[in-house]
Amino acid sequence: MKIFVCVKHVPDTAATIKVAGEAGYEEGGVKFVSNPYDEFGIEEAVKTVEKNGGEVVILTVGKAGAAATMRGAMAMGAHRGILVKTDTQFLDPALTAQALKAAMDQDGLGDMVFTGKGSVDSESFQTQYCLAAALGVPVANEVSALSLGEGKAVAEQETGGGDKQVLELSLPCVIGATKGLNEPRYPKFPDIMKAKKKELREIDIADLGIDLSQGRICLETLEIVPERSGAKMLEGDTDAQIAELVRILREDEKVI
Amino acid sequence: MTKELPSHAKVVIVGGGVIGCATAYHLTKLGVKDVVVLERKELTCGTTWAAAGLVVQLRGTPEMVRMTRHGYELYQEIEKETTQPTGFVKTGVINFATTQHRAHELEMLESLAISFGIDNHPIGMDELKARWPLINTQDIINAYYMPNDGVVNPVDTAMSMAVGARKNGALILEDTEVLDFEMKSDRVTAVVTDKGTIKCECMVLAAGMWSRELGRKLGISVPLHACQHMHFVTLPMEGAKKGMPILRDQDGCLYFREEVGGLLIGAFEYGAIPYGTKEIPSDWSFRELPEDMDHLEPLMEAAIHRIPDLAEAEIRRITTTAESFTPDNMYIMGEAPGKKKLYTACGMNSSGILCGAGVGKKTAEWIVEGYPKSGHIWEADNRRCYSWMMNINYLRDRAPETPGNLYGIHFPFKQFETARNVRMSPFHDRLKDRGACFGQMFGYERANWFAPEGVEPKYEYSFHRQNWFDYSGEEHMAIRENVGIYDLSSMSNFIFQGKDALAVLQKICGADVDAPVGKVVYTQMLNERGGIEADITVTRLDADKFFIVTAGANALRDFDYIERAIPEDAHAFLNDMSSSYAMLGVMGPNARKLLEKCTDADLSNAGFPYGTAREIAVGYATPLAVRMSYAGELGWELYVPTEFAAGMFDALMEAGKDLGVRLVGLHAVDSLRLERGFRHWPSDIDPEHTPLEAGLGFAVNFDKDDFLGKEALLVQKQQGLKRKLVIFTVDDPEPLIYHDEPIYRNGELVSENTHGAYGHFVGGSIGMCYLKNGDGITNDWIMDGKYEIGVNGKMYPITIHLSAPHDPRGERAKQ
């Protein structure tokens, strides 16, 4: 079996982001990681291949720095990687999907494709659908349980509120993984060292014939969510406290 | 609850890490309650949070051990007071060696631990295996166990001191970023923050790796640079048991300890990655940096080699963060030179938890008492931080060498390899051409020994006789028997002048410096307690003009000490002339003969008596010739303006040709001075010891009017001494000694060696030590004992000398 796992290179959610310019941020010193949802996909793919044989290919559309993140994914057991290089962190998901498809076409289509249910940086939750459409294969997102049969996959999909629906998809298909699908493994020292030597092919996105000017969604501005200020203790007797609270809601917060 | 920034505080501490919290805590303990700690984001969010929390008491010097011991004790007790535990667990520590040099070093550390009263005993491989079942012992030569040390939780430790400080009245403000300072002459009058301005009487800079750039704003030197620092944590693994000792694999640059059922593996590696040369982000909070796998790979390999089961362990976390390191791997503490009531407490080199409480305590004492009352800590004192050290290229190039230094083998005479050739004397290239091997002292390249033709001038380090031993011995003998020339341009010299200069010197010096023009006075600068703050010579150049010479390492400190002693309205002006003068010592029985060949000056005893100075012609140069000798032989120190230096050197070498003059390095100067019994500050004499105790009573003039320390010395004289510095020689010519080896009197541990070297003339190792006797110390009592020194676990008889082993009456310098 050949399985592609599409992994996005994203800032660690704990990182402090400093906005630079209109729609960018300072990357110096920011720790980047594999998109956490993608890790469920990596684990599932590696487990499947460990059982059935085959290979897992990490496929990333991202900046040059993504190579380090892909090494991390390979340390979890993936066999090789393909990095489609772009200069931007935020790409129209449709273009990302086109790039992913083009790379797969070039490399030879797989039997399955995993993505995360969405990325934790841009959170557009679109790429897996666009990719499935481009490939002309079925897709299930937010998959928290999966089993494979002859030429098919049975996926449990979270539909919100704790409800699930079970889908049967023919292979190949795109699976958007989420929490619950498995417990992603931690790498071991030898795996980390081995990952450094695994094949990682880099392709420029332009060389795949992707025209970035064709994007229909672009990021206009990036703003930091204002930090929540600390709790404020109201002082004085109850009446005074109420009066102060009303004043704050009316004058400072302008909500009443 | 939002707390407002007060308009004023007696003490403002900048930085809410372990050091800021510890300083606040100890200040309140000393009764200073009006203390405000300003933290940029959250307490501990800079570097404290990422610490490993190792509490290992044994360090290289007694001063450092006093600091580690304070933390060790406080972290076990503070919970009683604050209800916030530090998480201290007494796990013990194991060190082991996989190389012969390390094995030797561990043996030396056993002796050192004895001197410091720390249990550090050898253990066999069976015990090592039993305590650390996971370890691969195959290549281990020896192992030592320190059962009393342990670990704390770094954040809880800082918090516990923060709780204690708050309880005692200190105010701690988070989310308050320091932006600037308001200064008035040499004081900080207010600290400007993003929440407003707070006035203060006194300020402590405890801002970790942010301190360098804040220091620039304050106009002080805080030479530190961040490096990446990393550790790994595994998932729980079999064999990792709670309470296991900390395992230090120093040859592998690693330490291991148990963490939540798994292992935490940390590194002190060679060639660390410098970080934040330009700036450290001000929004940094518990930040992790991207890891560099190429850098981590050798560490992972070493970890698997030591703990083979790590090959199968899942790595839960790789944490790469940053921490500040200093050029000499020591902290930056004390009242900043040139400033008043401005203190630094930073540059922790990744041992801020270990020494946090100690640094906080000493800083608090500095503020309240004016000096670190619980013991001086010169090696970490900010008066060794010269302004040139703020040079960013120097810091960036040196910083990567520092982290690996902690676990490196501490060979005697070990030199830094990075950031060399910072300061060089005008003779440097001439000495290099003649085979000099240089060592660096505060950036200054000094010729330590000379390689003969055909030999590479390069240290081959070992704990035994190093490759230069015999060459240095020949240099030593050249000065004892013929004539040698050494370059001590690194010595510092000041010109102190003005109508009140004499009065200032009389106040701080033990000796009477009101001497005739041309006279050289050897004296100590004292503190109120009679302790020795500096060891200098003062030469009177004119009625109101003095030439002061001190060791190169102490220039900033001694300059600052004199500056502070000058009353505000006094007519007295101090100038550091060190960069203006180079100095050559021409020493040995044939020194006169040599000099006479290139001068017309009368160098006879009558024409140029010992202990006098005047300008003479030497070749085309006109140096100030000072007839003194640290080597204890006939000779002159020639202080020459730098542009005349090279010419003077050539003239002297030419004149000395027929005599067989030899260039002499500083290792020989050290062994020469030890044979002659001359003291060295701070090895043998320091602020905690008086001239009377140090056997320098001859340099104190009690007939002089009031001077600093006079009263204390009179009391000491009256009550009789309880400790005294003596010189000793090791009877067996084989062992080499360096410092802090334990000394026994009648089989009982009584002291430690202050500093030792091999005396090539007397044919054995020489050292000094303070002998103590609560009932009073007399020469009879001293000579009554049978003495031994412990070297690498072996006892060697020593002979105590009440005066110098060589030329006890000092006649040779006066011949």
A183 near B CB under 8 A: no
pLDDT-above-70 percentage for chain B:
100
Mean pLDDT of chain B: 96
Q: Is the dihedral of CA B498, B502, B508, B509 positive or negative?
A: positive
**Chain A contacts of B281, Cβ < 8 Å?**
16, 18, 29
| B297:A193 CB<8 A | yes
Q: Which residue of B has its CA nearest to A232?
A: B1
Give how far B263 is from chain A: nearest CA, Å.
13
Q: Is A193 on the interface with B (CB under 8 A)?
A: yes
Residue B73 tokens read as 């004790």
| Chain B residue numbers touching A233 (CB-CB < 8 A) | 1
Does A232 sit within 8 Å of B1, measured CB to CB?
Answer: yes
B654-664: string of b/e by CB count within 10 Å (b at 16+)? ebbeeeebbbb
What's the pLDDT at B747?
95
Cross-chain residue pair B1–A230, CB shorter than 8 Å: yes
CA distance from start to end of chain B: 79
Whether omega for the bond prior to residue B735 falls within 30 degrees of 0, making it cis, is: no
Contact across the interface for A187 and B312, Cβ inside 8 Å: no
The answer to whether residue B175 neighbours chain A at the CB level (below 8 Å) is yes
Which chain B residues touch A16 with a CB distance below 8 Å? 281, 283-285, 287
Among B285, B294, B310, whose Cβ lies nearest the Cβ of A189? B310
> Which of chain A's residues have a Cβ under 8 Å away from the Cβ of B300?
189, 192-193
Q: How many CB pairs under 8 A join A and B?
A: 69
B134: chain A residues, CB-CB within 8 Å:
none
pLDDT-derived band of residue A158, with 50, 70 and 90 as boundaries?
Answer: confident
> Torsion angle, CA of B444/B446/B448/B454, rounded to 10 degrees?
120
- Rounded Cα distance between A126 and A92, Å, is 9
Radius of gyration of chain B (CA): 27
The residue-averaged pLDDT of B127-146 equals: 97
Strand partners, A163: A160
Residue B314 Cα, gap to closest chain A Cα (Å): 5
Give the model's pLDDT for residue B370.
Answer: 96
Q: Could you report the predicted ipTM of this complex, rounded to two decimals?
A: 0.81
| CB-CB under 8 Å, A12 with B297 | no
Residue B498 DSSP label: S
Say whether B603 sits in a helix, a strand or coil.
coil
Global pTM value: 0.92
Q: What is the pLDDT of residues A38-81, one digit of tens each?
A: 999 999 999 999 999 999 999 999 999 999 999 999 999 999 99
- The pLDDT value given to residue B511: 98
Whether chain A has a CB inside 8 Å of the CB on B278: the answer is no
| The predicted structure's pLDDT at residue A59 | 97
A252 at B interface, C-beta within 8 A: no
Picking from A32, A189, A192, A244 by the largest number of B CB atoms within 10 A of its own CB, the best residue to mutate is A189
Mean of the pLDDT values across residues B523-548?
A: 98
- B284: which chain A residues are within 8 Å (Cβ-Cβ)? 16
pLDDT at A229: 66
| DSSP for residue B7 | S
Cβ of B290 within 8 Å of Cβ of A31? The answer is yes
Task: List, for residues B366-380, the tens digit of each pLDDT value.
Answer: 999 999 999 999 999
B285/A230 CB distance under 8 A = no
The predicted pLDDT at position B385 comes to 98
* Cβ–Cβ gap B311/A231 under 8 Å: no
Chain A CA closest to residue B288: A31
pLDDT tens by residue, B332-344: 999 999 999 999 9
Q: What number is the average pLDDT over the span B741-758?
A: 96
Nearest CA in chain A to B280: A29
What is the per-residue pLDDT across A163-179, written as a single tens digit (0 to 9) for each?
Answer: 899 999 999 999 999 99
Q: Cα A99–A103–A104 angle (5° rounding)?
A: 115
> B310, B314, B316: best mutation site toward chain A, by most A Cβ within 10 Å?
B314
pLDDT band for B173, please (50, 70, 90 cuts).
very high
Share of chain B above pLDDT 90, in %: 97
**Residues of A in Cβ contact (< 8 Å) with B288:** 12, 14-15, 31
Average pLDDT over residues A203-227: 87
- Has residue A228 got a pLDDT over 70? no
More confident residue, A87 or B25: B25
Considering only the beta carbons, identify the residue of B286, B314, B320 that sits closest to A186.
B314
- Give residue B1's pLDDT: 43
CB contact under 8 A, B293 and A18: no
- Which of B2, B290, B316 comes nearest A232 by C-beta? B2
**Does B42 lie at the interface with A, CB-CB under 8 angstroms?**
no
Question: Backbone phi, then psi, for B628, in 5-degree steps?
Answer: -140, 165
- Tokens 């098919």 appear where? A152
- Residue-wise pLDDT tens digits, B241-255: 999 999 999 999 999
Q: Are A84 and A60 in contact (CB under 8 A)?
A: yes
What's residue B94's pLDDT? 98
Query: How many angstroms separate the CA of residue A179 from the nearest CA in chain B?
Result: 18
pLDDT of B418 over the 70 cut: yes
Mind telling me how many Å the CA of B175 is from chain A's nearest CA? 10
Helix B62-82 to helix B100-116 angle, to the nearest 10 degrees? 60
Q: Does B279 touch chain A (CB under 8 A)?
A: no
- Burial class of residue B335, CB neighbours in 10 A (0-12, 13-18, 19+): buried
> Given an 8 Å threshold on Cβ–Cβ distance, is B288 in contact with A15?
yes
Cα gap B201→B198, rounded to integer Å: 10
Please compute the mean of the pLDDT values over residues A26-32 and round it to a whole number: 82
For residue B297, which residues of chain A lie inside 8 Å, CB to CB? Answer: 193, 196
Q: Where are the alpha helices (DSSP H) in chain A?
A: 36-52, 66-75, 93-107, 127-135, 189-195, 238-247
Q: Can you give the pLDDT at residue B659?
A: 97
Distance in Å from the first CA to the final CA of chain A: 61
Candidates B256, B282, B296, B281; CA nearest to B133 is B256
How do residues B485-516 score in pLDDT, each as one tens digit? 999 999 999 999 999 999 999 999 999 999 99
